[in-house]
Amino acid sequence: MKLSFHGADRDVTGSCHMLECAGRRILIDCGMFQGSRALAEENAAPFDFEPSTIDYVLLTHAHLDHCGRLPLLVKRGFRGEIIATSATAELLRLVLLDAAHLQEEDAARAASHRRRHGEDPPAAPLYATPDALKCLDCLGRAAEYEKPFEFAPGLRATFFDAGHILGSASILIEAHEGDRIRSILFSGDVGNTGRPLLGPPSAPARADFVVMESTYGDRLHRSIADSIEEFYTAIGDATARGGNILIPTFALERAQELLYVLHQGIESSRLAPALQVFLDSPMAISATEIFEHHLECLDPSTAAQIRQGHDPLALPNLHLTRQTADSIAINRISGGAIIMAGSGMCTGGRIRQHLRHNLWRKESAVIFVGFAASGTLARQIIDGAKHVRIFGEDVPVRSTVHTINGFSAHADQRELLAWRNGISGCQATFLVHGEESTMKALSDRLQSGRVEMPRAGEAFDL
């Protein structure tokens, strides 16, 4: 059994790991590198393996940093099967078509810039809509939580609910080689416990090897209850000042959780029912619809509420703005609106327009509720930049900036350790999906077995 690393190595994005066993080559995730512009080159670089030689991709979840290079993999020759849960497969369609569309727009913009400057040839997109569609055609069997299945002779997979986003999974692979069975668990992204919509992460009782994420391996989150309180206070303060509240949000999961929390806030009279809430993201609107089809992935009490016809994501003054014109119209509102828009790290999307219109106003508030990679606009604002550049304009940062990390979809150090310590028999733990200093902090706290922090391209014979 050979394990090699091809992304999210001493870094948080671009997840891609390869397992070679029982005569097959299996990728676990094939994500996009995200963050600064320089990473565009890294995404476009050749894979350090031949895509046509890969038999299977087992996909942990539909976040772009885990699935975003799949269309490229197909474009470059992959003809195997992609296996995921049915909720992940449905979200994948949304995420990859959107990603392809963004690549096409970026390429068109770059091409017209080059034409204006008398240069050629125009830049081609990393991949386009037909590539994304071809990739979706590779989706094969749907995995169900905790139902082991033989996906190839001698190879068994079991998907466990990772509690991170809808459909997310940790994947256990058991390989029969001769008369030996070896097992390896890929954590995917591990969820934060006690979240309102999803159940807690689960994992198998034992595995010979574990490949685990370490995003927040060096810190503890505030409790969700404290974070919700902080969220309501931030909203109350900004509305009292007459400002708008911007929430850069990830379209999957976070947007739905915030709708749930806002709903609870109104039901408990903590927030005013008159609050105008804009979900200004076509992808978040579609993801919200997908949520309601997959009750099997939700926390049982939330699923029961929906079955009884009570929509826990409904709000009296919720505006779903799919069309660009409706999004632009929000700019005319100077106060009292909650605007949720992507992207979560402010690297693109409609949030940038809203930031341009609100960031300089001291009565407004920006509430960050998710991870922001270094180099992103979100990170600059969080780190206290006095001015930022948006669409070539210098925008002063005068609004109040809140960072509420208890909403994180990722486990913190304590939860990661609890998750890992629940798995016995592990000979080695491979840390991925974390910044180097974070990994070291987590590594120091792991008590059993060998710990590795692989570098890109590194391979291990297990």
> Which of 28/365 has CB closer to Zn ion?
28
The nearest distance, CB 63 to Zn ion, in angstroms, is 3
Nearest to 99 by CA among 47, 46, 31: 31
Taking CB positions, which residue lies at the least distance from Zn ion?
A: 63
Minimum distance from residue 19 beta carbon to Zn ion (Å): 20
CB-wise, 58 or 235, nearer to Zn ion?
Answer: 58
Q: How far is residue 94's CA from residue 96's CA, in Å, rounded to a whole number?
A: 6
Minimum separation from the CB atom of position 164 to Zn ion (A): 6
Residue with smaller CB distance to Zn ion, 16 or 315: 16
CB-nearer residue toward Zn ion: 252 or 426: 252
Contact residue for Zn ion among 174, 189, 230, 253 (CB under 5 A) = 189
Residue 254 touching Zn ion (CB under 5 A): no
431 membership: H or E segment, kind and range: strand 428-432
Of 287 and 365, nearer to Zn ion (C-beta) is 287
Which CB atom, from 189 or from 230, has the smaller least distance to Zn ion? 189
Residue 296 CB coordination number (10 Å): 14
Among 6-14, 20-28, 186-194, 250-258, the segment contacting Zn ion (CB under 5 A) = 186-194
CB neighbourhood size of 118 (10 A) = 6
* CB of 1 vs Zn ion, minimal distance in Å: 26
Q: What's the min distance (Å) between Cβ of 166 and Zn ion?
A: 11
- Cβ-proximal residues to 421 (8 Å cutoff; 6+ apart), any chain: 447, 448
Pick between residue 191 and residue 204 the one whose CB is nearest to Zn ion: 191
**184 phi and psi angles, rounded to 5 deg:** -140, 135
Q: Pick the stretch among 189-197, 239-247, 332-340, 441-449 that binds Zn ion (CB under 5 A).
A: 189-197
Residue partners of 74: CB distance under 8 A and separation at least 6: 51, 131, 134, 135, 138
CA dihedral 56, 163, 5, 16 (to 10 degrees): 50
Q: Give residues 270-299 in contact with Zn ion (rule: CB under 5 A).
A: none
Q: Which residue has the tokens 């807690």?
A: 200
Query: Judged by CB under 5 A, does residue 352 bind Zn ion?
Result: no
Smallest gap, in angstroms, from Cβ of residue 115 to Zn ion? Answer: 38
- Please give the backbone phi and psi of residue 68, each rounded to the nearest 5 degrees, phi first: -65, -20
Judged by CB under 5 A, the stretch of 67-75, 188-196, 305-313, 315-323 that binds Zn ion is 188-196
Are 231 and 367 in contact by the 8 Å Cβ rule? The answer is yes
Task: Name residue 388's beta-bridge partners.
Answer: 395
What's the min distance (Å) between Cβ of 120 and Zn ion?
A: 39
Q: Which is nearer to Zn ion, 12 or 246 (CB)?
A: 12
Count residues binding Zn ion (CB under 5 A): 2
Question: Residue 66 CB, nearest distance to Zn ion (Å)?
Answer: 6
By CB under 5 A, tell whether 195 contacts Zn ion. Answer: no
∠ CA 336-338-343, nearest 5°, is: 145
Q: How far is the CB of 78 from Zn ion (least distance, A)?
A: 22
d(CA 330, CA 351): 11
Which residues in the 43-72 window bind Zn ion by CB under 5 A? Answer: 63
CA 30 to chain CA centroid, nearest Å: 13
Min separation Cβ 189 and Zn ion, Å: 4
CA angle 321, 365, 328 (to 5 degrees): 30
DSSP 79-120: -SEEEEEHHHHHHHHHHHHHHHHHHHHHHHHHHHHHHHTT--
| CB closer to Zn ion, 10 vs 263 | 10
Query: Does residue 161 touch Zn ion according to CB under 5 A?
Result: no
Our CB check for Zn ion shows the closer of 189 and 280 to be 189
Q: Which residues bind Zn ion (CB under 5 A)?
A: 63, 189
